[in-house]
Structures are given as C-alpha cells and as structure tokens.
C-alpha cells in the first residue's frame, strides 16, 4: 500500500498529473474522486481510502480516555509523568476490556 501512496504523492504510476488539475480537484468531492480511481487501485487500498474519507468525526472515544485518565492522574498522583500516566491508562483500558 505504501508504494501506491508514494505514487499518489508523486503523481506517477496509475496517478497521472492530469488527474490533479485544479478544475477537477475543486469541483469533485474527495470520495467521488477516489471512487473514480477504483479500477486503478487494489481492493485493500480502495477500502482504506473509503474508510478514511467516510469516517464519522466523534469525540466519544476521546471523552472515554479522559474519563479513565481522571483516576490515574489525581491529586495523589500529581507527580506522575505524562508518558507513565498514558501507559497506565492503556493498561487500565486493556484490563477493563478483558473483564467485560
């Protein structure tokens, strides 16, 4: 997949410079542009771009991490460094997944 991404960035390989003309880029949505390239892409690469461009923005995951971070970095543990606190939150989340 990396080779295809590099070719895209370099506008070479299956991605030719005429595909990046400003009139085309400005008038077509990104998802429509990638759908038009589906014949040139592998299924895996097309699926990756389709998921990236159609992902729904949500703050729920971030809010869950912050709610877990509260007990880990409390007044009693205020000298805990960022890296260690992050590792503790990661372990805490893994343990909770296994329990449920």
Length of the chain as a residue count:
100
User: What pLDDT, on a 0 to 100 scale, did the predictor assign at position 100?
Assistant: 53
Are 71 and 91 in a shared domain?
A: yes
Are 38 and 81 in a shared domain?
A: no
Going from the C-alpha of 69 to that of each of 35, 43, 66, 78, the distances in angstroms are 40, 38, 5, 12
Are 48 and 64 in a shared domain?
A: no
Q: Please tell me the total count of domains within the chain.
A: 2
Are 14 and 42 in a shared domain?
A: yes
| Domain interval for residue 82 | 60-99
Q: Output b/e per residue, 13-28; b: 16+ Cβ within 10 A.
A: eebeeeeeeeeeeeee
User: What pLDDT, on a 0 to 100 scale, did the predictor assign at position 99?
Assistant: 60
98 pLDDT band, cuts 50/70/90, is: low
Are 80 and 39 in a shared domain?
A: no
Question: Alpha carbon 5 to chain centroid distance?
Answer: 15
pLDDT digits (tens, 9 = 90+) for 25-79: 788 888 888 888 777 777 888 888 888 888 877 888 788 888 888 877 777 777 8
Are 64 and 85 in a shared domain?
A: yes
User: What pLDDT, on a 0 to 100 scale, did the predictor assign at position 82?
Assistant: 83
């Amino acid at each position: 997949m990396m080779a295809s991404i590099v070719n895209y960035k370099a506008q070479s390989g299956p991605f030719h410079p005429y595909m990046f003309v400003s009139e085309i880029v400005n008038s077509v949505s990104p998802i429509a542009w990638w759908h038009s390239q589906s014949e040139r892409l592998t299924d895996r690469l097309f699926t990756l771009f389709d998921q990236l461009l159609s992902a729904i923005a949500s703050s729920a995951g971030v809010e869950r991490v912050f709610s877990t971070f509260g007990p880990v970095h409390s007044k009693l543990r205020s000298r805990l460094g960022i890296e260690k606190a992050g590792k503790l939150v990661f372990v805490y989340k893994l343990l909770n997944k296994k329990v449920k």
